[in-house]
Chains A and B, each alone.
Chain A
Amino acid sequence: MSIDNMILIAFNAFLIQNIILTKFLGICSFLGVSKNKSSALGMGLAVTFVITVSAVVSYFIYEFILIPYNIEYMRTIIFILVIACLVQLVEMVVKKYFKSLYSLLGIYLPLVTTNCAVLGVAILVTGKSYTFTQTLLISFFTALGYLASIFVFSSIRVKLEDSPIPEFLKGIPVGLFTAAIMSMIVLGLKTSLMVPI
C-alpha cells in the first residue's frame, strides 16, 4: 500500500466518513456525555482505545475463526460477547498497570460496552477483504474522528450553556442544531476524495 493511499484512507475515515456526523454511530454518548469538556475527552479517549483494539481483535476472529469454519452468521453474537469481555479485560489491565490512565478513563470504560460505535466499526471493517494494515488504519482514524467530533461538540455546548437562547431550544434541540451544522461542514468536504470505507 502506497503512502498516498494510506493518507487517503486515514483522512476519509477521520473526516469525510466521520462516524458520528455521517454514520450516526455512537449518538447516545455524543449527546449524553458532552456536557463538559473533560468528560467528553475521557469518553472520547476510552472509545478510541476500545474501538481500535476491538476492531483488530474482531478482524482476527473473523478471518481466522469465522471464515475457516463457515460460521459468518455468528458474527453479531460473537462480536458482542468478545467486545464485552474485551472491555472488562482492558479495564482490569488498565487498573493494574496504568493507574493514571485509569483515573482518567475509569468510569467511562464500562459505558463503552453498550456504545454502538464499537460494534459498528467491528462490523464495518470485517467482511470487506481489507488487509490488516488497512483495518488498523481505518479503525484507528475512525475512532479519532469520534474523539474529535465529541470534543469539538462539547466545547461548543459549554459556550451555548451561557448564551441567551429561548428556553424551549435549550439542551437537546440546540445541541442537535449544532450537530447539524457540524454535519454540513463534513458534507461540504465530500469531494472527489471519496473512497468507500
Chain B
Amino acid sequence: MSRTKQSKKSILKKGIIDNNPTFVMLLGMCPTLATTNTFAGALAMGISVVIVLVLTNAVISLFRKIVPAQIRIPMYITLIATVVTIIEYFLQIYFIELYDSIGIYIALIAVNCIILGRAEAFAAKNNVGDSIVDGLGTGLGFLFGLSILAFFRELIGTGGIDLLKINIMSSENAISIFAQNPGAFLTLGIIVAIRQYQVIKKKKTKELQGDYENVNR
C-alpha cells in the first residue's frame, strides 16, 4: 500500500482554503445563515464547531480500531451529541445572552454534516495527530467563513461591529435588511457568486492559453 503521507500543513490548508466548508463545500448551511447576523454570534458558533470537531476527531481516531464497523455511526452520533451538550451548558453558564440568541443552533451542531463527515471521511482512517489537525483545519475554515459573512452583514446592516468597536455610520442610515433574515441568503449568494465568477474566469483563461499554445505549435 503506497498511500502518500500528507503533511500536517497540507491537511490544515486543505481544511481552511481548498475545501472550505462554507464557501466551497456548502456544508452546514443552517448555522452559517442563522448565526451570522452578529459578529459575536458567528464567533461563538465557529469556536464551538472547532472544539467539537477537534474533540470528536481525536476520540474517534483513538478508538478507530476497537469500534465495530456496523455500529460506528450511532456511536459517533452519541459522542458528538455528548460533546455538544457539554458546550451548550458551558455557554448557558458563562454567556447566557449569546446562548439565548444562538442556543438552538449550538444544539443542532449534533446533526451538522461537517462533523459526521469529517469523522467518517478522515478520523476513522487516520492517526490521532493527523485527525486533530484535520479537525482544526476544517473547524477554522468554518470559523473563517462564518466570520467573513457576519463581518459584512453586521457592518452593512447596523453600520458598525459591536465586538470590535468599529463604527462607520449611524445605524439609522444602515441597510438593515442585511442584518435580518433575507440578508443571510443575499450575502451568501453574493459571496458564492464571486467565487463562481473567479472559477469560470480561471477556466476561460486556461482554455485561451491552451488555444494559444496550440496555435503556436
Contact = CB atoms under 8 A, between A and B. Distances in A.
Determine the interface band of chain A, counting residues with CB < 8 A from chain B: 35 or more
Contact of A21 (B29, B108, B181, B186): B181
A76 B182 contact: no
B180 interface: yes
Interface in A36-69: none
Grouping DSSP codes into helix (H, G, I), strand (E, B) and loop, the B interface class, with mixed when no group exceeds half, is helix
Contacts of B85: 73-77
B112 interface: yes
Interface stretch (A5-13, A90-98, A142-150, A173-181): A173-181
Contacts of B88: 76
Contact of A173 (B107, B110, B177, B192): B192
B196 interface: yes
Contacts of B67: none
A37 to B, nearest CB: 21
B41 to A, nearest CB: 13
Interface residues of B, number: 40
A169 interface: yes
B30 A28 contact: yes
A24 B186 contact: no
Interface stretch (B9-17, B75-83, B126-134): B75-83
Given A77-B81, A77-B82, A187 B104 contact: no
B185 A176 contact: yes
Contacts of B89: 73
B189 interface: yes
A28 B30 CA distance: 7
Grouping DSSP codes into helix (H, G, I), strand (E, B) and loop, the A interface class, with mixed when no group exceeds half, is helix
B74 interface: yes
A170 B181 CA distance: 22
Contact of A116 (B111, B177, B185): B111
Contact of B181 (A22, A74, A115): A22
Given A24-B29, A76-B85, A180-B184, 20 more contacts: A24-B33, A27-B29, A28-B27, A28-B28, A76-B81, A77-B110, A81-B77, A116-B108, A119-B108, A119-B110, A168-B193, A170-B196, A172-B189, A173-B190, A176-B192, A180-B189, A181-B182, A183-B182, A183-B185, A184-B182
10 contacts: A24-B30, A28-B29, A77-B78, A80-B111, A115-B111, A119-B107, A123-B107, A168-B193, A173-B196, A184-B182
Give 9 closest A-B pairs by Cβ, nearest first.
A176-B189, A180-B185, A173-B193, A27-B29, A168-B197, A24-B34, A183-B182, A77-B81, A24-B33
